[in-house]
C-alpha cells in the first residue's frame, strides 16, 4: 500500500509540474481591447504571477503583485495584465509615442519569438494608454534597446480603483517566429514610478539589465500558424520643404515623394524596400560639447535600416565598427534600397542590404551592399560572417573606386550567464591600398551580483579602411599642417566594479565602492600614446537619489597638433598629463520636479579646466513636460588662449492627447557657433500614419539669423 502511495505522489507531482508549464493557448476567438478584461475567454487562460522585486531591491517577491494572461487566435497575440497597486493614483511622464517608460507607471513585455537570445521585441503601455515599441538587440557586452522600430498594435488601459489594468493585441504578422520552434522567450515587468519600483516575472538580479534575453520565461505556443498572416505594408509619403538662406539671400523649395514597402516572405523572413526616401529627420540630434580629438557617434533613427538592425550594427565594437548605416545617404540622396533579413532556419539568420545613391555635384553615385550570416552553433556559441561593399557607380555599371570589408565574429555566453566572450576578425580591401589592413578584438566580461569586470585587446591596422564604418581613432587631424593622418593602433582595456547592497538599511540602497576603468592606446611601433583612467564611487539612497564623484586622468603623447579651443592656436605635439575631479548629485526620479547637477575642476593639456552642469525637469502631466540642460566648460590654455563653451538645450512638450503633441527644441552651442530652434507639431491621425509641421530657425553665436525653414511631411500606412 505504501508503494502505491509513493507512485501516486510522484504521479501527482508530475501532473502539477506539467500543469504549471507556461503555455500560450490557441483559442479561436477575439476580444475588444478596452482594458476592462471582462470577456469570458480570460477565464480559460492560466495566469502568470508571483512577480519578483528588481529595483530598488532585488530580494524576494514583490509586495504589489501583477497577474498576466495570454492566448492567441493565429492572428493576434492577446495579453491582459492587472497590477494590484496600493493607491488609486497614477503618474506618467509623457503622452508621446516611443518615449521611454522609465518615468511612468507602465506595463512592459519583451518577446524573444525565436528563443535564441539574440534579438527580440519590446512593447510597453503606460497607465494612460501611451504606446512604446522597439527592438532589443545583442551588442558586444549585453543588449541594447532601440525605440525607432514601430508596429501597428492595439492597447488600452483601465484604472479600476487601485487596479491598473492593461489589455494588448499584437498581430503575429509583425513578429519574426519559426514554426519549427514553438517556444517564445517572454519577460514581463511593471514600472511603478510612484514608489520608484520595478517588478519582474522571471527573477533577474539588478546587475543584469531587465531586458536581458537570457532571463526570459520560456512559453510553449500552441498551434502557431504555419505561415503568419500576410503582412504587406505600403507607406507613401510626401515632404515639402522651404528653406531660406538669409546670409546669401537665397531660398529653395523642394517637393519629395517617397515610398517604403515591407513584406513578409515567411513568418521569419522580411523584405524591406524604399524608393526615393526622404530621410530628413523630424527629430534633431542632441548636440554635445566635444573636447576630444575624434568624432562623436550618433545612433541610427531611419526606419529602413532598423528591422533586424542588430544583424548589421554589431559587426564590430564601439569605436571599431565596419558598418555604420548613417554613412549612407549623408553626402548624396538615396535612390532606392532593398533589405532582406530574418531567419532562414531555426538557428540561422541572414541579412542582405543594397542601397543606391545618386550623383550630386562633385560627389559620385555609390552602391552599398552588405551580406551578413549568423549561425547559432550551440547554446553557448554564435558565429557571424559578413561582407560589406562600397563601390562607385556610373549609371548601371561599377567603377574602379571601391572599399570592401569582410569579417568573422564569435560570441560566447556561459550557462550560468556570468561570462560573455567576443572575438572579432576583419579585413578591408580598397582600390590601390595594400597591407596592414586588418582588425581584431578579443574581449571577456564577468558579471555577478555586486561584482563585474572586463578586459579586452583591440588592434586596427593603418589601412583598415571602412568607408561605411565608424573608426574615429584611426583618423588623426593635424591642426598645424591641416591634414588628416591615418594611423593604426593597439588598444587594451580593463575595468572592475564592486557595489554592495544594504537591504536592511533605512537610508542606504547601495554603495558603489569601486568603479575603475583604463584604456591604453599604443601606436604601431608599440609606443604608449594615450592612457585614459576612470575612477568612480557613488552612494545610492533608498529613494534612488545619488551622490557621486568621478576622477578622469589622462596621459597623452600628442603626435599631431590639436586645436582644442577652435581659435586657430593648436596645442603642439608633446607629452601631457592632466585630470579632472567631478562631484555630482542626482535627485530621486519619481518627483514631478527632478534635477541633477555637477561641478568639475582640473587640468587640460597644460592648462586649466572648470566645468559645471545642470539638468532640470518639471512635469505638468498629462498636459506638458519641460526640460532644461546646461553645461559650461571654461578652458584656459595660457598663451594659446582662453574659451568658455556654453551648451544649453530646452525641450518643451505639450500633449493634446495620445496622438497629437507639440514639441519645441532650443539648442545653444557656442562650440559650433549655433543657436537652433526646432518646433514640431505631430499628429498620428491613424496608427503609424503621421502629419508633421516643422519650423526650424538657425542663428550664429551673435544671435544673427543664418537660415530658417518650414517643412510639411505626411505619410499614410496601408496594411494588407
Whole-angstrom distance, CA of residue 326 vs CA of residue 302:
9
Q: What share of the chain is helix, strand, coil (3-state, %, to 5)?
A: 5, 55, 35
Q: Which of 340-344, 398-402, 530-534 has the highest mean pLDDT?
A: 530-534
pLDDT of residue 19: 44
Closest CA to 275 of 304, 240, 251: 304
- Segment 389-410 mean pLDDT: 91
On the 0-12 / 13-18 / 19+ scale of CB atoms within 10 A, 336 is middle
- Segment 233-244 mean pLDDT: 91
Q: Quick one: pLDDT band at residue 15, thresholds 50, 70, 90?
A: very low
CB of 170 within 8 A of CB of 151? yes
Q: Render pLDDT for 660-686 as a digit per residue (tens, 0 to 9).
A: 999 999 999 988 888 999 999 999 999
* CA torsion through residues 70, 117, 268, 715, sign: positive
Instruction: Please give the grid coordinates belonging to residue 488.
Output: 593604426
Give 540 or 282, the one with higher predicted confidence. 540
In this predicted structure, the answer to whether residue 478 has a pLDDT above a threshold of 60 is yes
pLDDT of residue 228: 54
Share of the chain above pLDDT 70, in %: 95
- Segment 229-234 mean pLDDT: 75
Q: Render pLDDT for 551-562 as a digit per residue (tens, 0 to 9).
A: 999 999 999 999
Closest CA to 492 of 440, 535, 452: 440
Mean pLDDT of the chain: 90
- Segment 181-204 mean pLDDT: 95
CB of 650 within 8 A of CB of 656? no
Give the three-state DSSP class for 661: strand
Whole-angstrom distance, CA of residue 201 vs CA of residue 221:
18
Whole-angstrom distance, CA of residue 515 vs CA of residue 497:
4
Task: Tell me phi and psi for residue 28, to 5 degrees.
Answer: -80, 70
- Segment 408-421 mean pLDDT: 93
Phi-psi region of 196 (alpha: psi -120 to 50; beta: other; left: phi over 0): left
On the 0-12 / 13-18 / 19+ scale of CB atoms within 10 A, 111 is buried
Q: Tell me the C-alpha to C-alpha distance, in Å, between residue 235 and each of 296, 340, 504, 681, 711.
A: 32, 18, 55, 20, 19
pLDDT of residue 11: 43
Give 1 or 56, the one with higher predicted confidence. 56
CB of 210 within 8 A of CB of 157? no
Domains and CATH numbers, the chain: 23-221 (2.60.40.1190), 231-719 (2.40.170)
In this predicted structure, the answer to whether residue 281 has a pLDDT above a threshold of 80 is no
Task: Tell me phi and psi for residue 110, to 5 degrees.
Answer: -120, 130
**From the centroid of its chain, how far is CA 381?**
24
Q: Quick one: pLDDT band at residue 276, thresholds 50, 70, 90?
A: confident
- Segment 602-617 mean pLDDT: 96
In this predicted structure, the answer to whether residue 8 has a pLDDT above a threshold of 60 is no
pLDDT of residue 68: 98
Task: Tell me phi and psi for residue 19, to 5 degrees.
Answer: -65, -30
Whole-angstrom distance, CA of residue 238 vs CA of residue 327:
24
In this predicted structure, the answer to whether residue 1 has a pLDDT above a threshold of 60 is no
| Predicted structure pTM score | 0.86
CB of 700 within 8 A of CB of 674? yes
CB of 168 within 8 A of CB of 125? yes
pLDDT of residue 190: 98
pLDDT of residue 593: 95
Share of the chain above pLDDT 90, in %: 69
CB of 664 within 8 A of CB of 693? no
CB count within 10 Å of CB 597 equals 15
In this predicted structure, the answer to whether residue 448 has a pLDDT above a threshold of 60 is yes
pLDDT of residue 456: 97
Q: Render pLDDT for 259-268 as a digit per residue (tens, 0 to 9).
A: 989 888 887 8
Least confident of 79-83, 93-97, 425-429, 516-520: 93-97
pLDDT of residue 16: 41
Q: CA geometry: angle at 335 spanning 303 and 176, to 5°?
A: 30
In this predicted structure, the answer to whether residue 17 has a pLDDT above a threshold of 70 is no
DSSP letters of 45-113?
Answer: S-EE--PEEEES--SSB-SS-EEEEEEE-SSEEEEEEEEE-SSS----S--STT---TTS-EEEEEEET
First to last CA, the chain: 64
Q: Quick one: pLDDT band at residue 227, thresholds 50, 70, 90?
A: low
Instruction: Please give the grid coordinates belonging to residue 556.
Output: 597623452
In this predicted structure, the answer to whether residue 282 has a pLDDT above a threshold of 70 is no
Instruction: Please give the grid coordinates belonging to residue 621.
Output: 502631466
Least confident of 376-380, 426-430, 613-617: 376-380
Q: Which of 77-81, 396-400, 411-415 has the highest mean pLDDT?
A: 77-81
Give the three-state DSSP class for 289: coil
Q: Render pLDDT for 106-161 as a digit per residue (tens, 0 to 9).
A: 999 999 998 988 889 999 999 999 999 988 987 777 788 888 788 899 999 999 99
Instruction: Please give the grid coordinates belonging to residue 555.
Output: 596621459
In this predicted structure, the answer to whether residue 453 has a pLDDT above a threshold of 70 is yes
Whole-angstrom distance, CA of residue 487 vs CA of residue 473:
8
pLDDT of residue 118: 84
- Segment 708-712 mean pLDDT: 93
Lookup result for grid cell 528653406: 243
Instruction: Please give the grid coordinates belonging to residue 308.
Output: 533586424
Q: Render pLDDT for 364-396 as a digit per residue (tens, 0 to 9).
A: 899 999 999 999 999 899 999 999 999 999 877
Amino acid at each position: 500500500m505504501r508503494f502505491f502511495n509513493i507512485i501516486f505522489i510522484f504521479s501527482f507531482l508530475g501532473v502539477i509540474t506539467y500543469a504549471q508549464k507556461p503555455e500560450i493557448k490557441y483559442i479561436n476567438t477575439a476580444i475588444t481591447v478596452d482594458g476592462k478584461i471582462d470577456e469570458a475567454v480570460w477565464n480559460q487562460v492560466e495566469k502568470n504571477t508571483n512577480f519578483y522585486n528588481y529595483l530598488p531591491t532585488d530580494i524576494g517577491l514583490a509586495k504589489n503583485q501583477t497577474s498576466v494572461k495570454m492566448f492567441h487566435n493565429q492572428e493576434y497575440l492577446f495579453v491582459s495584465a492587472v497590477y494590484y497597486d496600493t493607491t488609486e493614483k497614477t503618474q506618467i511622464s509623457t503622452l508621446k509615442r516611443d518615449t521611454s517608460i522609465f518615468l511612468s507607471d507602465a506595463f512592459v513585455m519583451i518577446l524573444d519569438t525565436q528563443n535564441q537570445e539574440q534579438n527580440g521585441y519590446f512593447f510597453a503601455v503606460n497607465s494612460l494608454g501611451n504606446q512604446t515599441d522597439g527592438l532589443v538587440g545583442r551588442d558586444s557586452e549585453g543588449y541594447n534597446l532601440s525605440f525607432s522600430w514601430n508596429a501597428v498594435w492595439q492597447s488600452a488601459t483601465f484604472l479600476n480603483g487601485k487596479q491598473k489594468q492593461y489589455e494588448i493585441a499584437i498581430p503575429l504578422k509583425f513578429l519574426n517566429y519559426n514554426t519549427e520552434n514553438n517556444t517564445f522567450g517572454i519577460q514581463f515587468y511593471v514600472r511603478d514610478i510612484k514608489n520608484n519600483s520595478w517588478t519582474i516575472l522571471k527573477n533577474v538580479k539588478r546587475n543584469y539589465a531587465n531586458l536581458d534575453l537570457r532571463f526570459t520565461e520560456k512559453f510553449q505556443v500552441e498551434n502557431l500558424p504555419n505561415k503568419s498572416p500576410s503582412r504587406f505594408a505600403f507607406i507613401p509619403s510626401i515632404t515639402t520643404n522651404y528653406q531660406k538662406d538669409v546670409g546669401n539671400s537665397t531660398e529653395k523649395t523642394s517637393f519629395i515623394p517617397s515610398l517604403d514597402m515591407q513584406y513578409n516572405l515567411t513568418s521569419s523572413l522580411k523584405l524591406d524596400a524604399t524608393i526615393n526616401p526622404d530621410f530628413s529627420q523630424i527629430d534633431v540630434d542632441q548636440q554635445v560639447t566635444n573636447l576630444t580629438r575624434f568624432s562623436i557617434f550618433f545612433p541610427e533613427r531611419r526606419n529602413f535600416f532598423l528591422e533586424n538592425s542588430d544583424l548589421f550594427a554589431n559587426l564590430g565594437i564601439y569605436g571599431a565598427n565596419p558598418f555604420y548605416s548613417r554613412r549612407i545617404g549623408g553626402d548624396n540622396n538615396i535612390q532606392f534600397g532593398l533589405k532582406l533579413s530574418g531567419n532562414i532556419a531555426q538557428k540561422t539568420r541572414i541579412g542582405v542590404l543594397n542601397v543606391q545613391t545618386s550623383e550630386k555635384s562633385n560627389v559620385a553615385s555609390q552602391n552599398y551592399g552588405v551580406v551578413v550570416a549568423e549561425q547559432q552553433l550551440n547554446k553557448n556559441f554564435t558565429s557571424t560572417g559578413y561582407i560589406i561593399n562600397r563601390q562607385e557607380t556610373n549609371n548601371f555599371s561599377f567603377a574602379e573606386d571601391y572599399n570592401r570589408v569582410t569579417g568573422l565574429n564569435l560570441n560566447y555566453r556561459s550557462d550560468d550567464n556570468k561570462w560573455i566572450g567576443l572575438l572579432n576578425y576583419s579585413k578591408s580591401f580598397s582600390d590601390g591600398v595594400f597591407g596592414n589592413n586588418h582588425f581584431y578584438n578579443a574581449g571577456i566580461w564577468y558579471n555577478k551580483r555586486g561584482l563585474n569586470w572586463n578586459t579586452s585587446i583591440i588592434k586596427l591596422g593603418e589601412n583598415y579602411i571602412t568607408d561605411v564604418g565608424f573608426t574615429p581613432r584611426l583618423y588623426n587631424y593635424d591642426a598645424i599642417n591641416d591634414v588628416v593622418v591615418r594611423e593604426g593602433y593597439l588598444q587594451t582595456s580593463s575595468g572592475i566594479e564592486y557595489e554592495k547592497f544594504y537591504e536592511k538599511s533605512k537610508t542606504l540602497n547601495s554603495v558603489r565602492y569601486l568603479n575603475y576603468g583604463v584604456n591604453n592606446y599604443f601606436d604601431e611601433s608599440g609606443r604608449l600614446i594615450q592612457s585614459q583612467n576612470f575612477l568612480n564611487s557613488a552612494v545610492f539612497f533608498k529613494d534612488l537619489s545619488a551622490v557621486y564623484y568621478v576622477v578622469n586622468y589622462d596621459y597623452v603623447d600628442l603626435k599631431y597638433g590639436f586645436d582644442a579651443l577652435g581659435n586657430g592656436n593648436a596645442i603642439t605635439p608633446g607629452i601631457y598629463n592632466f585630470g579632472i575631479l567631478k562631484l555630482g548629485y542626482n535627485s530621486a526620479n519619481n518627483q514631478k520636479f527632478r534635477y541633477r547637477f555637477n561641478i568639475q575642476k582640473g587640468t587640460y593639456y597644460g592648462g586649466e579646466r572648470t566645468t559645471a552642469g545642470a539638468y532640470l525637469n518639471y512635469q505638468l502631466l498629462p498636459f506638458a513636460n519641460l526640460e532644461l540642460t546646461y553645461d559650461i566648460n571654461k578652458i584656459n590654455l595660457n598663451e594659446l588662449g582662453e574659451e568658455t563653451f556654453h551648451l544649453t538645450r530646452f525641450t518643451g512638450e505639450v500633449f493634446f492627447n495620445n496622438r497629437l503633441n507639440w514639441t519645441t527644441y532650443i539648442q545653444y552651442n557656442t562650440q559650433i557657433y549655433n543657436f537652433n530652434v526646432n518646433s514640431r507639431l505631430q499628429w498620428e491621425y491613424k496608427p503609424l500614419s503621421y502629419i508633421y509641421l516643422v519650423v526650424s530657425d538657425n542663428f550664429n553665436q551673435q544671435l544673427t539669423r543664418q537660415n530658417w525653414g518650414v517643412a510639411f511631411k505626411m505619410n499614410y500606412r496601408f496594411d494588407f
